[in-house]
Structure 1
């Protein structure tokens, strides 16, 4: 349905008529004050050379982002610019929903397009066209409650990562040990607490890859492989055997101290500004197949049906310049090599030590991007009932994943 909406929006010929020509509407999925203050600072910098242009950031909740964005486009109210995740890139590019900004980028003085590696740009280019610039190539990390670890006398995840004993099995054991039902503290919370719905892929793929599995390769689904099933069983046991993972329908919230461990990205560190506990970060655990760093990527894009395409492309170039990528690096690890490899990146976020930022940089260097496909919206919709079926105590994981692969295989 989502891809049909994208195509309908592109070919309807309808554009927004209620947006001031000098206002750029920019959709994002963050409501964080720290993030928005930083983004508004960049917009104010653009205003110095474009005094008649105002940038308005429009927050859409993450779980609804793609659906609401495509509904806006189909309804004749497309934004000028926005954030877009890696799993949506192929569908939006294929549907012609994104503007080619290559000419503007190459015409922008000192832009240094070559600063982005070919691999970083892979999802956002087609032939000589450029449809987006990554502003965040962010590895998934383990955040842990150091106060709880210290109280329990446990070796911390970053210490285990150093001595080579940090595995998913160890995380499972730690989560069970640190679970304190009397205090309302869970052992492990899924990615953003949404690992059963909006972020089910983000939750399961890192574990599956560490166990030697994958989502799909060369048009073939592998989510029903023995490796993938074993990985999912590990997580399933955390919910229904150990009782250590926050189950569907419950709230844990690592950031308020109600969970000992979670997996998320560096942008969420702003939520720990007022934390009343000590915390730390560590790489994703290893599995039988070794380390499997996983990266989420998001890009700034300009929409093909936006009313202000020329100025939108100029703002995209300004926002993704080396200067502004360095600003965003506090929360969003950069794809620009010059910024990522610079000493300033290691101290870009005052809440994170240089040693911790090295963990982030290593995750980018060694990580693989989350699965993407031009039919990903349809794949996600087709897989949803089977993913939902996993979350019961008596779920037959092998049968469920076999059915899931059978359902999505024609789309691959």
Structure 2
């Protein structure tokens, strides 16, 4: 939904009296998009520690599937059933900030003991502040990585992505070649799987932007779409060829789960390492491949926010401060790379996840340091809706990639200005 639609819906429900008045309820409702038992156990542990100073408060974490998250959250806000807190992606930040649906928590953070707001990276806070107001605190500033099935690489006698990254030969062209070589249709093994298997829908930008940036392209700059540039078109063509010419990549409508051993490579973030706990193969982590424009790390960011229509705004802001304290950010760093400089630069961060070696966590830290956050815009929901038919047209074997991208830019340019 657009920023204006969000505003209108919330104003309408306020006028009809459906928004509950502020009350000192004992339960905070917190929306997330994870269903991971490890993630939820960690979050519940942080919530339990909050009761030491707030014994009458409990926190309920409600999981909304990622693909439905923004739509369902917006409907909750508009329908008079707002959560108190939630996670929010970088792409949604400008729309939600400008719609006035996020609570300014700056005073609460300033008043919190030993909070040290200055410890947060200033660039990481860019999407979540407006003047002196603070509308969210990033809990995850996580670069995209390549996970690979080392067992399949060893059986094929191929140099692994980690080895190639070390010797400077890890490129998107090499990943394309590896995916084709490792595809085994008889065994039901794909060469490559998109981010969470959602690379043609909810995560299309997550899947394409790392390649586009490695080829020197960008989604939009200075109020104009640039996905139709020669650089971007070349990058998208490479991915399209992986899907249709090589038939090495899980195509739209097919299933191929890296974490079940059904794909040799995938692009994802460090939080997904929980899904590798009991796999029956050796695995490894590598940075994103380089391209003609060199290395181009892409970072996905998400923040903890409190909602202005929540029933327990004061307590919600206090929980936000508690959750993003240095101590709790260090706990979350196991899965969610932090924006707190002191935690990110600590030796403890490199050993925070027992399933990941310090050397692999150094890849994460380097990706944050040199990375760029995924594209965002005040009208991102409208941009996403306008571009969807064009992206759908892209996923056909005979698609004219440059022509589709040119049409896409024609469709979203008015929204970018």
**TM-score class normalised by the smaller sequence:** over 0.9
**1:238 matched to 2:242:** yes
Alignment partner for residue 37 of structure 2, among 16, 33, 37? 33
**Structure 2 SS opposite 1:42:** helix
Partner of 1:269: 273
* Separation in 2, partners of 1:150, 1:37: 35
Instruction: Name the SS of the counterpart of 2:299 in structure 1.
Output: strand
Report how many aligned residue pairs link the two structures.
Answer: 412
| Cross-structure match for 2:8 | 8
For residue 10 of structure 1, report the CA deviation from its aligned partner: 3.5
State the match for 2:76 in structure 1: 72
Does the CA-based 8 Å contact 2:148-2:161 persist in structure 1?
Answer: yes
Match in the other structure for 1:352: 356
Task: Please state how far the C-alpha of 1:19 moved relative to its aligned partner.
Answer: 9.1
Q: Is 1:174–2:175 an aligned residue pair?
A: no
Residues 31, 87 of structure 2: 8 Å contact kept: yes
Pairwise CA RMSD of aligned residues?
Answer: 1.2
Cα offset for 1:81? Answer: 0.2
Partner of 1:119: 123
What is the aligned partner in structure 1 of residue 95 from structure 2? Answer: 91
Aligned partner (choices 394, 401, 406) of residue 390 of structure 1: 394
**CA contact 1:174–1:187 (8 Å) conserved in 2:** yes
Matched residues in 1 for 2:377 and 2:27: separation? 33
| Corresponding residue number in structure 2 for 1:379 | 383
In structure 2, what is the Cα distance between the partners aligned to 1:11 and 1:264?
A: 38
Q: TM-score, structure 2 length as denominator? A: 0.97
Distance 1:405 1:360 in 2: 32
TM-superposed CA distance for 1:4, in Å, is 4.2
**Contact conserved, 1:10 with 1:304, CA < 8 A, in 2?**
no
**1:285-314 CA distance string (max 9 Å, x none):** 000000000000000000011110000000
Checking the alignment, whether the CA contact within 8 Å between 2:22 and 2:313 is kept in structure 1 is no
What is the aligned partner in structure 1 of residue 148 from structure 2?
Answer: 144
Measure how far apart 1:17 and its partner are.
Answer: 7.2
C-alpha separation in 1, matches of 2:357 and 2:242:
31
**Deviates most, 272-281 or 3-12:** 3-12
Residue 384 of structure 1 and its aligned partner are, at CA, apart by 0.3
**Residue 403 of structure 2: which of 388, 399, 403 is its match?**
399
Q: Which 4+ runs in 1 deviate beyond 6 A?
A: 17-20
Of the candidates 191, 194, 197, which is equivalent to residue 193 of structure 1?
A: 197
Question: CA–CA distance in 2 between the matches of 1:72 and 1:61?
Answer: 14
- The two structures have a TM-score, normalised by structure 1, of 0.98
- Whole-angstrom distance in 2 between the partners of 1:160 and 1:279: 15
Aligned partner of 2:135 in structure 1 is 131
Unaligned runs of 5+ in 1: none
Distance 2:20 2:146 in 1: 42
1:309 equivalent in alignment to 2:336? no
Q: Report whether the alignment pairs 1:105 with 2:109.
A: yes
SS at match of 1:52: coil
Query: Post-superposition shift, 1:246?
Result: 0.3
SS across alignment from 2:191:
strand
